Amino acid sequence: MSNSREEEWSNSTLDLFLDLGIGSRPGLRARIEEGLRDAIREGRLRAGARLPATRALARDLNVSRGTVVQAYAQLAAEGWIAGRRGSATAVVFDGEQGGGRPSLREPGAVRWRFDLRPGRPDASSFPRAEWLRALRRALVLAPDDVLGYGSAQGQLALRNELAGYLARARGLRVRADSLLVSTGFTQSLGLIARALEASGAASVAMEEPSMPLHRAIVRSCGLRLRPLGVDAEGLRVRELERWPAVDAVVLTPNRQHPTGVTLSPRRRSRLLGWARAHGSIVVEDDYDGEFRYEGHPIGPLQSLDPASVVYAGTVSKTLAPGLRLGWLALPERLRQAVVREKERADWQSGALEQLALAELLRSGAYDRHIRRMRLRYRRRRDLLLDALRSALPGVELAGTAAGLNLLVRLRDATLEAEILAAASSAGIGLEGLVAGGYYERSGPAGIIVGYAAVPEHCFRVAAEALVTLLARFLGRARSASA
Amino acid sequence: MSNSREEEWSNSTLDLFLDLGIGSRPGLRARIEEGLRDAIREGRLRAGARLPATRALARDLNVSRGTVVQAYAQLAAEGWIAGRRGSATAVVFDGEQGGGRPSLREPGAVRWRFDLRPGRPDASSFPRAEWLRALRRALVLAPDDVLGYGSAQGQLALRNELAGYLARARGLRVRADSLLVSTGFTQSLGLIARALEASGAASVAMEEPSMPLHRAIVRSCGLRLRPLGVDAEGLRVRELERWPAVDAVVLTPNRQHPTGVTLSPRRRSRLLGWARAHGSIVVEDDYDGEFRYEGHPIGPLQSLDPASVVYAGTVSKTLAPGLRLGWLALPERLRQAVVREKERADWQSGALEQLALAELLRSGAYDRHIRRMRLRYRRRRDLLLDALRSALPGVELAGTAAGLNLLVRLRDATLEAEILAAASSAGIGLEGLVAGGYYERSGPAGIIVGYAAVPEHCFRVAAEALVTLLARFLGRARSASA
């Protein structure tokens, strides 16, 4: 892990320099300085981030080492960075206060010292240079009609690549024909809900706990919501029998969000049996299935019954939520209705980003990025688990085998609220099961800790800050008691 | 117009070469050849397109003229292009049959010889190089949190630029606060309709004729639709009194689609008076207001009453529909409800494209592109009008003063169907008022001719083909008779 900072350099900022052609034009020293100043000013390089060794950067940029040394010296003189003999040069100025050229950062948004909220990948690891390369290739190769009004179902080039990827990497039984390109799970859920409603569906079952936005989406499409409990085997499928008629079930079988439970094989076959018997639809939200660190990966429900299951995937956890790209694998009986809803929703997803993602899949860059991030997130999880278990021996954790977050179970909602308040004062972003609105009615309290969003170089400090905070509340007693 | 082809070169394909760094790396001749081969193979350069003179291309690419001459010679030997002494070198091979590297073009889509359908801009003039530069700048400058879950209302950087642009170029009374970034008018309409429905609205009035998709969107949101007629002054505002309670009116006041009528000042004040009296909302769809060739530009309704009017704009006509970017200027009373619907629809629009558009607005490239296209479309309109009027003296045309299409009024729906059938056989894409579903019930027949989508270099041929076709049906009699 010692060179993780430099690894990150070579993956993003450095490649952007290369893309800017910094290696082959005049004014190199000034441009290196400017690039670094901007990166610090805008928060892409934060205080403590180590810069690459001058020799290494000179080699990568194909400039003389003297040029880099001079650039570093200038920035040190200006107070942005500092180097000591025998240790790496590092950023000392924490951006944003510096003024200068206007920042693109949204003001008003809460700025956490450590953002440990769930559901967010490490944005600082987004492969900017590779995405730019893919966009460029799309812009160069795309015939003009790609820029016009295109297929609501999505660019065929992307659906072809996705079909191959999903079969290979996720075990789906899928063809390009049955895929629809959406802008992420938020849209995907709305499209399905509307298509179901238009075809006469009246009620949809959802997990309890689950994301409040997802419940609001289903309700706003005019469907009645039926909450189903979750236990150690996942969704309590038997509770479906409580309700008179349920037209669809929306669930996260690979890793129940936010409890982290995987739906057991027994429950899987029972759920699919129920769906077939009732002609109902199962919506499988596979939001972060790419990240599993322990145990055998469990195939998607979709592979067991492609005629009953709608499978939903996204790049929001693998690449970045800001891209707004996702997909649905649809049973034939729903395909046309969902495509029509997509057309009514926004006609089609953005064409160039679709082609860029197709290129990332084609070139293998998407797979490589996921492998890299899986290793990185796994190391973070290990570090966090070790720290939590050694400082808080009685703490009850869940959902640690996979994904980008884990759950700290708590005795009650009061304790949850106290911890959230203290975290907020300390600048630590967290979510609570109760406070976050995950329950329709009520349920056990807990803190959901996302360990992916914090940039790599400050993850260790963030984990320590979290453990220190939790120890104030959970240090002596068990975290959850019956 | 004689150098229009070369102008296009310098605007798109040529800049892509520059972006690829073709001017500063080895293997120049091979790269020029490959770039041209790809452009022809993929249909970006079609048969008949003239290539730049070798001297001009050499200068623009900053290479020796000999390099370009050799590249042209090689391509001529391979049969892609041909040059004769005294005339320009031109493409002779019509792409797509060539095989080689896979095309990104969607199969299955209808390929018109001449696409004269309305509502489509010239995709071959999309400023690819400038868009790529803007995306690159966004990717270099954007802080990490731009890639995360952002504001549903849209990136502030874009809303700031848009507010300035809309006030300056379109006369809106708008602040960044009141803008929402959508993915185009399709989504914008759905967001407003849902926000209205959620706040208790029950019925919406729409123009007759109007886009069938727009009516379907409003209906699918659970709203009742009230059609209002259109005459020479635009929307018949008085017909609003027919209906018991209308919560909103959706219209195209600047240029009624598809008849091209501009809403008269008298009707404007009557409409806004009605809206204020009833507390109703007016939705102003300004889909192509950037393009006016005659008469005084008429300010938007929004500027007369920002508290009653929702203004909707888009890049679908100014840049390309495939980008999927649009915006809404919202009265304060609707803002939160529409932002909430956006969050439920797709959380937010793609962040990088938002920043790229902000950059195009900031740098002035957006204004320059619109000015360039306005001149180009105006020349096309002049050419088309001259050709239609001289070949078909009795033809009744409408909507010729602005926009990207005009209307040929016809005697009846049978004639419309006959012309559409003949056009289809001739590979000419057109739309009919009746056949296109523009009426809820029924109305006068007509052919809508879009003159923007055909690439610049074959517009003259396309216009001739259209006139020849129409002359078969309209050559003797008047096109429309009472």
Report the pLDDT value the prediction gives residue A7, as an integer from 0 to 100.
Answer: 35
Q: Which of A255-264, B25-34, B92-101, B104-113 has the lowest mean pLDDT?
A: B92-101
Q: Nearest 5°: phi and psi at A328?
A: -130, 135
Report the pLDDT value the prediction gives residue B252, as an integer from 0 to 100.
Answer: 98
Report the pLDDT value the prediction gives residue A51, as an integer from 0 to 100.
Answer: 79
Report the pLDDT value the prediction gives residue A82, as an integer from 0 to 100.
Answer: 74
Do residues A263 and A235 make contact, with C-beta atoms less than 8 angstroms apart? yes
pLDDT digits (tens, 9 = 90+) for A150-187: 999 999 999 999 999 999 999 999 999 999 999 999 99
**Helix or strand or coil: residue B419?**
helix
pLDDT of B88 higher than 80:
no
How far is the CA of B389 from the CAs of B59, B381, B392, B449, B459, in angstroms?
Answer: 42, 12, 5, 14, 17
Averaged pLDDT for residues A251-279:
96
B231 - beta bridge partners? B234
Confidence of residue B87 (pLDDT cuts 50, 70, 90): low
Report the pLDDT value the prediction gives residue B43, as an integer from 0 to 100.
Answer: 64
Q: Give the best residue of A149, A319, A338, A361 to mutate against chain B (max B CB count within 10 A).
A: A149
Tally of CA atoms within 13 A in the half-sphere of B141 that contains its CB? 19
Distance CA A294, CA A298 (A): 11
Q: Which of B78-92, B307-321, B416-430 has the lowest mean pLDDT?
A: B78-92
Q: Which of residues 453-472 of B touch A (CB under 8 A)?
A: 453, 455
ipTM of the complex: 0.80
A431 - beta bridge partners? A448
pLDDT of A203 higher than 70:
yes
Confidence of residue B217 (pLDDT cuts 50, 70, 90): very high
Nearest to B35 by CA among B5, B63, B72, B7: B72
Question: Which residues lie closer than 8 Å to B26 by C-beta, 6 or more apart?
Answer: none
How far is the CA of A183 from the CAs of A324, A326, A460, B319, B430, in angstroms?
Answer: 5, 5, 33, 21, 31
> What's the burial of B236, exposed, middle or buried (CB within 10 Å: 0-12/13-18/19+)?
middle
H or E segment to which residue B391 belongs: helix B365-391
Distance from CA of A73 to the nearest CA of B (A): 23
Report the pLDDT value the prediction gives residue A110, as an integer from 0 to 100.
Answer: 55
Using an 8 Å CB-CB cutoff, list chain B residues near A184: 346-347
Report the pLDDT value the prediction gives residue A11, as an integer from 0 to 100.
Answer: 37
pLDDT of A22 higher than 60:
no
Q: Output the pTM of the full model.
A: 0.81
Say which residue, B30 or B378, is predicted with more confidence.
B378
Distance from CA of A145 to the nearest CA of B (A): 7
Using an 8 Å CB-CB cutoff, list chain B residues near A320: 147-148
Q: Which of residues 326-385 of B touch A (CB under 8 A)?
A: 343-353, 355
pLDDT of B61 higher than 90:
no
Distance CA A318, CA A315 (A): 5
Interchain contact, B144 vs A126, CB within 8 Å: yes
pLDDT of B94 higher than 80:
no
Interchain contact, B16 vs A103, CB within 8 Å: no
Report the pLDDT value the prediction gives residue B103, as an integer from 0 to 100.
Answer: 37
Report the pLDDT value the prediction gives residue A111, as an integer from 0 to 100.
Answer: 73
pLDDT of A16 higher than 70:
no
Percent of chain A with pLDDT over 90: 70
Report the pLDDT value the prediction gives residue A44, as an integer from 0 to 100.
Answer: 65
Interchain contact, B344 vs A190, CB within 8 Å: yes
Percent of chain A with pLDDT over 70: 85
Report the pLDDT value the prediction gives residue B179, as an integer from 0 to 100.
Answer: 98
Q: Which of residues 186-205 of A touch B (CB under 8 A)?
A: 186-187, 190, 194, 198
Nearest to B324 by CA among B352, B300, B343, B344: B352
Report the pLDDT value the prediction gives residue B44, as an integer from 0 to 100.
Answer: 65
Interchain contact, B145 vs A123, CB within 8 Å: yes
H or E segment to which residue B41 belongs: helix B28-41
How far is the CA of B343 from the CAs of A111, A216, B63, B181, B348, in angstroms?
Answer: 20, 11, 51, 11, 6
Averaged pLDDT for residues B214-229:
96
Nearest to A329 by CA among A313, A315, A344, A345: A313
Interchain contact, B24 vs A24, CB within 8 Å: yes
In chain A, which residue's Cα lies nearest the Cα of B19? A136
Averaged pLDDT for residues B359-386:
97
pLDDT digits (tens, 9 = 90+) for A57-100: 777 666 788 888 878 877 776 667 777 555 678 776 654 433 33
**Of A182, A216, A350, Cβ closest to residue B323:** A350
- The chain-wide mean pLDDT, for chain A, equals 87
The reply to whether A34 touches chain B by the CB within 8 Å rule is no
Interchain contact, B324 vs A42, CB within 8 Å: no
The reply to whether A260 touches chain B by the CB within 8 Å rule is no
Say which residue, A34 or B367, is predicted with more confidence.
B367
Tally of CA atoms within 13 A in the half-sphere of A108 that contains its CB? 10
Following CA atoms B368, B154, B184, A176 in sequence, which dihedral angle do they give, to the nearest 10 degrees?
110
Interchain contact, A157 vs B349, CB within 8 Å: no
Distance CA B434, CA A203 (A): 39
Say which residue, B19 or B93, is predicted with more confidence.
B93
pLDDT digits (tens, 9 = 90+) for A450-478: 999 999 888 999 999 999 999 999 976 44
Do residues B423 and B415 make contact, with C-beta atoms less than 8 angstroms apart? no
- The chain-wide mean pLDDT, for chain B, equals 87
Q: Which of A358-367, B18-27, B116-125, B325-334 has the lowest mean pLDDT?
A: B18-27
Interchain contact, B186 vs A148, CB within 8 Å: no
Distance CA B404, CA A360 (A): 36
Confidence of residue B51 (pLDDT cuts 50, 70, 90): confident
Confidence of residue B295 (pLDDT cuts 50, 70, 90): confident
pLDDT of A217 higher than 90:
yes
Please count the other Cβ atoms lying within 10 Å of the Cβ belonging to residue A398: 18
Please count the other Cβ atoms lying within 10 Å of the Cβ belonging to residue B219: 15
Report the pLDDT value the prediction gives residue B266, as an integer from 0 to 100.
Answer: 96
pLDDT of A24 higher than 60:
no
Interchain contact, B350 vs A213, CB within 8 Å: no
Nearest to B446 by CA among B422, B430, B424: B430
Interchain contact, B105 vs A155, CB within 8 Å: no
Q: Which of A102-111, A116-125, A273-282, B425-434 has the lowest mean pLDDT?
A: A102-111
Q: How many CB pairs (< 8 A) connect A and B?
A: 226
Averaged pLDDT for residues A258-280:
96
Using an 8 Å CB-CB cutoff, list chain A residues near B62: none
**Of A150, A184, A344, Cβ closest to residue B346:** A184
Question: Which residues lie closer than 8 Å to B396 by C-beta, 6 or more apart?
Answer: B408, B409, B478, B479, B480
CA dihedral (A273, A276, A280, A282) positive or negative: positive
Averaged pLDDT for residues B243-269:
95
Using an 8 Å CB-CB cutoff, list chain A residues near B287: none
Q: Which of A34-48, A135-149, A291-305, B427-441 has the lowest mean pLDDT?
A: A34-48
Distance from CA of A177 to the nearest CA of B (A): 12
Q: Which of A66-80, B271-285, B362-376 has the lowest mean pLDDT?
A: A66-80
Q: Which of A86-90, B52-56, B190-194, B234-238 has the lowest mean pLDDT?
A: A86-90
The reply to whether omega before B118 is within 30° of 0 (cis) is no
pLDDT of A20 higher than 60:
no
Interchain contact, A187 vs B138, CB within 8 Å: no
